[in-house]
């Protein structure tokens, strides 16, 4: 339907939109319609002046505003009728007794102009199909042949005045194209007000009831917007990253715990003779080992926070630490990999000490 010309509502210029949608082009502007309205006002003034410029009727007429236009952009049926005469077109009242006696089927006509209060819009046949070209709609609305009569009857019941456009309309691209093909419309175009209200509702925070409804009726995701899907993927990646960090921290804690157990066994076997009670010095060694591990864990968490604040600088300036350096300075700058490697080295050394002790026995 891209080839169909359709002007949307601007201010109160529905008469202009009605004419241009009917003729399928920008044929009339507010200035041209105002000129026609002023010409009609002048012709009416001259007729009133024939009865005497000093008469009460004439003075009252001059004080009254124009009935053919106003400041909002409204134009009367006389202005629309005179504008169509330029193209050799004529308006006939659809529900007049004269027209009804003709018994013409609406689908055999070419177009209609509908008016209710101060709003005008066009219903026109393009090719072999009918379209509602109301400027209050976001786009043309397809009307089937079987629904056309019901649509016009509904408008009449709502108080609309309907006029049949008689004469040959100017050629247009949409009419030529739709003579060869037929179009289908899956969804009816929304009113301009409905589109604005929907956009506003989407910006408002959702209530708990709306969220509960979504839980009971989950969205299948087939129509998910690209932006929503992108946000979902970002959240999923962040969640996976946090899970990986938690797994690494769990591995580190397990390695440290294993190291503590190995150190205690090694100290118990190496520093105490067989069948001799444990000396008080051994408990001090265990206490020092626990304190050392706590210091290392504290250094690790402080380093992690520092990396988050200045990650780029740490990547370029991070020193390379050896095992001896880690043993001499457990509270220094240590990365997560260094902490894990140090804990594993301590665990392996404890196991080797245990094996050596058993061999000596």
Task: Choose the catalytic residue: 14, 17, 21, 114.
Answer: 14
316 tagged catalytic: no
Active-site pick, 20, 21, 115, 134: 134
Coil/strand/helix, residue 75 = strand
Active site residue 114: no
Give SS3 for 126. strand
The angle at the Cα of 232, spanning 198 to 204, to the nearest 5 degrees, equals 25
Q: Distance between CA 8 and CA 196 in Å, rounded?
A: 14
Q: Is 134 a catalytic residue?
A: yes
Would you give the distance in Å from CA 193 to the centre of its chain?
A: 17
Please check whether residue 203 is in contact with residue 148, taking contact to mean a CB–CB distance below 8 angstroms.
no
Please say whether the beta carbons of 21 and 124 come within 8 A: yes
Catalytic residue among 68, 114, 119, 132: 119
- Residue 236 C-alpha from the chain's centroid: 21
Q: How far apart are alpha carbons 246 and 148 in whole angstroms? A: 66
Spatial contact of 108 and 128, defined as CB atoms under 8 Å apart: no
Contacts from 79-84 at CB under 8 Å and sequence distance 24+? Answer: 79/15, 79/33, 79/36, 79/37, 79/40, 80/15, 80/18, 80/19, 80/113, 80/120, 82/36, 82/39, 82/40, 83/19, 83/28, 83/32, 83/33, 83/36, 84/19, 84/165, 84/167
Among 117, 146, 122, smallest CA distance to 132 is for 122
Q: How far apart are the C-alpha atoms of 3 and 258, rounded to whole Å?
A: 76
Composition of the chain by helix, strand, coil, percent to 5: 60, 10, 30
Annotated active-site positions, please?
14, 119, 134
């Amino acid at each position: 339907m891209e080839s169909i010309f359709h002007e949307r509502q601007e201010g109160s210029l529905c008469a202009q939109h009605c004419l241009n949608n009917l003729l399928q082009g920008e044929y009339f502007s507010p200035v041209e319609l105002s000129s026609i309205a002023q010409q009609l006002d002048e012709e009416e003034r001259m007729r009133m002046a024939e009865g005497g410029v000093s008469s009460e009727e004439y003075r009252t007429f001059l004080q009254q505003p124009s009935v053919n236009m106003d400041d909002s952009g409204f134009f009367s049926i006389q202005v629309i009728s005179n504008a169509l005469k330029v193209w050799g077109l004529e308006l006939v009242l659809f529900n007049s007794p004269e027209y009804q006696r003709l018994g013409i089927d609406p689908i055999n006509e070419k177009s209609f102009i509908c008016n209710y209060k101060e709003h005008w819009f066009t219903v026109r046949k393009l090719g072999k199909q009918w379209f509602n070209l109301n400027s209050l709609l976001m786009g043309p609305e397809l009307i089937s042949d079987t629904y056309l009569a019901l649509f016009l009857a509904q408008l009449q019941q709502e108080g609309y005045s309907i006029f049949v456009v008689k004469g040959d309309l100017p050629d247009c691209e949409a009419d030529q194209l739709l003579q060869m093909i037929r179009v289908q419309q899956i969804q009816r175009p929304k009113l301009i007000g409905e589109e604005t209200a929907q956009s506003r509702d989407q910006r408002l925070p959702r209530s708990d009831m709306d969220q509960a409804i979504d839980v009971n009726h989950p969205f299948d995701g087939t129509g998910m917007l690209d932006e929503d899907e992108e946000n979902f993927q970002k959240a999923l990646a962040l969640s996976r990253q946090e899970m990986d960090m938690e797994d690494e921290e769990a591995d580190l804690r397990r390695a440290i715990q294993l190291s503590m157990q190995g150190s205690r066994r090694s100290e118990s076997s190496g520093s105490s003779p067989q069948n001799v009670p444990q000396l008080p010095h051994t408990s001090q060694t265990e206490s020092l080992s626990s304190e050392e591990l706590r210091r290392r864990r504290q250094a690790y968490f402080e380093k992690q926070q520092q990396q988050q604040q200045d990650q780029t600088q740490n990547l370029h300036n991070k020193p390379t630490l050896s095992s001896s350096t880690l043993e001499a300075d457990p509270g220094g700058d240590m990365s997560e990999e260094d902490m894990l490697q140090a804990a594993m080295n301590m665990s392996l050394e404890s196991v080797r000490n245990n094996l050596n002790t058993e061999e000596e026995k």
